[in-house]
Amino acid sequence: MYEAIAALIRADLLSAYRLDPAFLRRFDAHFPRLAREFLTVYGDRVDALLQLRSLAGDLVVAWEERPDELHLLDNEREHDTTWYASEQMVGAMAYVDRWAGDLDGVRAQIPYLRDLGISYLHLMPLFAVPDGDHDGGYAISSYRDVRPDLGTTEDLAELARDLRAAGISLCLDLVFNHTAHDHPWALQAADGVAPFDQYYWIFPDRTMPDAYERTVREIFPDDHPGSFVPLGDGRWAWATFHRYQWDLRYANPEVFRAMAREMLSIAALGVEVLRMDAVAFIWKELGTPSESLPQVHHLLRAFNAICRIVAPAVVFKSEAIVHPDEVATYIDTDECQLSYNPLQMALVWEGLATTKPLLLQQALTRRHALPPGTQWVNYVRSHDDIGWTFADEDAAELGIDGHDHRRFLNAWYTGRHEGSWARGVPFQENPRTGDARISGTTADLLGLVQGDPFAVDRITLAYGIAMLTGGIPLLYLGDEVGQLGDPDDPLVARDTRWVHRPPRPEERYAQAGDPSADAGRVYAALRDLIALRRAWPDLAGNALTPFDPRNEHVLGFTRGHLLVLANFSPWPQHIAAEVMSGQPKVATDAREGGTRYLRDGVELTPYELLVLDVTGAGWRSGSVDE
Ligand code: OTU
């Protein structure tokens, strides 16, 4: 049926436009799928086919507007569909204003990024925002205009080009669950102007908000209770996050089409990865939690099919910081090719707090594998809070009570627990439920701020795990010089995540080459890890085999020729000889060089991250046949 619908629409398009053969080829390959996803969601509306036909027309227009150089990149990427799985991929992320001032400032940092080995750069949202609060750019007033203090849309396109020329893929957010309350769509919706009056969830009184709130979770309770905000005249608008971020009403297919046009205009700037912000929330349904409903997946797949037709160079990264079962539902080459790995992120912190990476070892064993063609983005921290998104069922198998353990972790990382080296700050602490998440830079949370002797080793270990487990490792820029947080930033009072978003630490960058400074020690360690990641084809892709070190303080896994053993404790650890009996007697230390004798087992120093080339000596110099 969808083939037939696609054929009808194709004939109609051919009568209206002169179409490029490459467009037609991609249309034929992907439009039936787009039709299926779109009609699964909107099929019972009388105007469903008309909407689909209009969408097809939008695609032709977007194709024509897409620059030639990007059409060329599209052709390349069509033949290299897993470019993002290469061991050469190493990501970094930053706020343009805070890390580099403006877009020109980012351009000036390209040599630095190249030298560090970065090949993917996520710039935090940089489009126009309201005056005053804007959630670090996540409240967007126009998807077509760059924030004036950062530069122009042309500057952005030029920066994307320069990055690409330097081998760095640009990632930007698609903030598509909500717009700012002063986006022209929102202003007109509030004024009741058609068609925008159907673009948001605005209700005349509390009846429907009360009904929805019976089953919907509170996300930002510090900002406002529940999910709705008053408009001042008795009406209420759905705002999952801050009061100035209004949720779009995807129940209306025109909203989907409008956002698809914004997506393709962002893609046309030369963006190669779109970070799909707050994916879980885009579909609401009375009587449900309105998170990760089936329609969310259909719509993401529809957006994905649109990119396959118009901009196949673009892939999606899912931002679902939720239960691991739910995270997994977004990961598919037809949906999001990439996904943050919030479970691994949380469990590295968990392992460091407990000194026992047992939950992490379990996660690598049962939750790491992904469908072919998809990859994790492995990170130590992002611009957001750190939340404890492990599965209670998994924890229970290890005798851990999820609820109590989260309380322990929050106490540990806010420095309230005895013996803690962490100096984090709670985020969205909800006294009603006892929930909280954690803010603070990596250096704050791992002890650098108060001069703990193991802080650098912990930072190295945490980033080492991200670099070694697969997918795309992601560096939070500033972390490579051990940047400390700024609890005095005035924005912190309203949102503690600003603690870990301070301005560029010039003095620490100046010390990056100084091995006697903290900054220099962290920098040298992280730089070496990035070089290691890029030197070993074994680290491409996602395939990983867990290795049981039979020591509860040590994490173990292999990636191709490499065996990784990571001591999560501040004490020396021993790996028994019988555990190593399947390994060669001698192995090369891939980080430090030199050899390690494995016959009597392995000694690990506190927090040691040991990476062994277990093919014996010299595989990389070609002495062992592959
Ligand atoms: C995202 O995060 C962004 O990463 C945040 O910076 C934004 O504030 C927010 O959306 C609104 O645009 O709740 O604490 O997966 O964890 O989507 C961060 C669900 C958030 C949420 C996530 C959201």
Ligand 1, atom 23, residue with closest C-alpha: 278
277 lines ligand 1 (CB under 6 A): yes
Q: Which residues contact 97 (CB under 8 A, 6 or more apart)?
A: 149, 150
Distance 278 CA to ligand 1 centre (A): 6
CA dist., res. 475 & res. 480, Å (int): 8
How many Cα atoms are found within 13 Å in the side-chain-facing hemisphere of 467?
A: 30
Distance 591 CA to ligand 1 centre (A): 36
Distance 230 CA to ligand 1 centre (A): 22
pLDDT of residue 82: 83
Alpha helices by DSSP H, listed for 414-449, are: 442-445
Q: Is the CB of residue 387 less than 8 Å from the CB of residue 410?
A: no
Share of the chain above pLDDT 70, in %: 98
Structure tokens given for 192: 């009741």
328 lines ligand 1 (CB under 6 A): no
pLDDT of residue 435: 83
Beta carbons within 10 angstroms of residue 431's beta carbon: 8
Ligand 1, atom 7, residue with closest C-alpha: 138
Structure tokens given for 375: 């990859």
With tokens 């893609």, the residue in question is 267
223 lines ligand 1 (CB under 6 A): no
Dihedral of alpha carbons 106, 375, 293, 225, sign = negative
- Per-residue confidence band for 285, with pLDDT thresholds at 50, 70 and 90: very high
CA dist., res. 59 & res. 260, Å (int): 9
Nearest atom within ligand 1 for CA of residue 427: 14
Nearest to 261 by CA among 70, 56, 62: 62
CA dist., res. 14 & res. 11, Å (int): 5
Ligand 1, atom 12, residue with closest C-alpha: 138
Distance 277 CA to ligand 1 centre (A): 7
Whether pLDDT at 209 is above 80? yes
247 lines ligand 1 (CB under 6 A): no
Structure tokens given for 381: 């921290």
CA dist., res. 500 & res. 261, Å (int): 33
CA dist., res. 472 & res. 168, Å (int): 13
- Per-residue confidence band for 616, with pLDDT thresholds at 50, 70 and 90: low
pLDDT, tens digit, 9 for 90 and up, residues 381-396? 999 999 999 999 999 9
241 lines ligand 1 (CB under 6 A): yes
pLDDT of residue 620: 43
Q: What is the DSSP letter of 432?
A: T
Distance 495 CA to ligand 1 centre (A): 12
Nearest atom within ligand 1 for CA of residue 385: 14
pLDDT, tens digit, 9 for 90 and up, residues 223-238? 899 999 999 999 999 9
143 lines ligand 1 (CB under 6 A): no
Ligand 1, atom 13, residue with closest C-alpha: 219
Whether pLDDT at 529 is above 90? yes
133 lines ligand 1 (CB under 6 A): no
CA dist., res. 572 & res. 426, Å (int): 32
74 lines ligand 1 (CB under 6 A): no
Question: Is 319 annotated as catalytic?
Answer: yes
pLDDT, tens digit, 9 for 90 and up, residues 81-132? 889 999 999 999 999 999 999 999 999 999 999 999 999 999 999 999 999 9
Q: Which residues contact 581 (CB under 8 A, 6 or more apart)?
A: none
Pocket test for ligand 1, best of 174, 181, 277 (most atoms within 8 A of CB): 277
- Per-residue confidence band for 621, with pLDDT thresholds at 50, 70 and 90: very low
Distance 81 CA to ligand 1 centre (A): 28
Q: Is the CB of residue 96 less than 8 Å from the CB of residue 102?
A: yes
Alpha helices by DSSP H, listed for 199-291, are: 207-213, 253-267
566 lines ligand 1 (CB under 6 A): no
Structure tokens given for 107: 């351009």
CA dist., res. 209 & res. 7, Å (int): 42
pLDDT, tens digit, 9 for 90 and up, residues 354-363? 999 999 999 9
Average pLDDT for the chain: 96
Pocket test for ligand 1, best of 274, 319, 495 (most atoms within 8 A of CB): 319
pLDDT, tens digit, 9 for 90 and up, residues 412-455? 999 999 999 999 999 988 877 778 999 999 999 999 988 899 99
319 lines ligand 1 (CB under 6 A): yes
Interstrand relation of 169-174 and 120-123 (parallel, antiparallel or unpaired): parallel
Nearest to 171 by CA among 82, 270, 97, 48: 270
Nearest atom within ligand 1 for CA of residue 428: 14
Mean pLDDT of 203-222: 94
218 lines ligand 1 (CB under 6 A): no
Amino acid at 55: L
Nearest atom within ligand 1 for CA of residue 278: 17
Q: Which residue is catalytic, options 319, 479, 480, 613?
A: 319
pLDDT, tens digit, 9 for 90 and up, residues 540-587? 999 999 999 999 999 999 999 999 999 999 999 999 999 999 999 999
Distance 329 CA to ligand 1 centre (A): 18
pLDDT of residue 131: 96
**Strand, coil or helix: 510:** helix
Whether pLDDT at 37 is above 90? yes
Whether pLDDT at 524 is above 70? yes
446 lines ligand 1 (CB under 6 A): no
- Per-residue confidence band for 625, with pLDDT thresholds at 50, 70 and 90: very low
pLDDT of residue 223: 87
pLDDT of residue 160: 98
323 lines ligand 1 (CB under 6 A): no
138 lines ligand 1 (CB under 6 A): yes
Ligand 1, atom 16, residue with closest C-alpha: 321
87 lines ligand 1 (CB under 6 A): no
pLDDT of residue 622: 38
Q: Is the CB of residue 473 less than 8 Å from the CB of residue 90?
A: yes
Residue 68, CA distances (Å) to 72, 73, 75, 306, 313 in order: 6, 9, 11, 18, 13
| Helix-, strand-, coil-residue percentages of the chain, each rounded to 5 | 40, 15, 40
With tokens 């972390």, the residue in question is 479
pLDDT, tens digit, 9 for 90 and up, residues 596-613? 999 999 999 999 999 999
pLDDT of residue 623: 37
CA dist., res. 23 & res. 61, Å (int): 11
Ligand 1, atom 2, residue with closest C-alpha: 278
What are the φ/ψ torsions at residue 517 (nearest 5 degrees)? -95, 150
Share of the chain above pLDDT 90, in %: 95
Whether pLDDT at 374 is above 80? yes
Q: Which residue is catalytic, options 37, 247, 262, 277?
A: 277
pLDDT of residue 619: 43
Nearest to 189 by CA among 242, 263, 139, 247: 247
Distance 94 CA to ligand 1 centre (A): 16
Q: Is the CB of residue 499 less than 8 Å from the CB of residue 485?
A: yes
Structure tokens given for 511: 């010390």
CA dist., res. 12 & res. 54, Å (int): 11
Ligand 1, atom 18, residue with closest C-alpha: 384
Interstrand relation of 338-340 and 315-318 (parallel, antiparallel or unpaired): parallel
Q: Is the CB of residue 587 less than 8 Å from the CB of residue 596?
A: yes
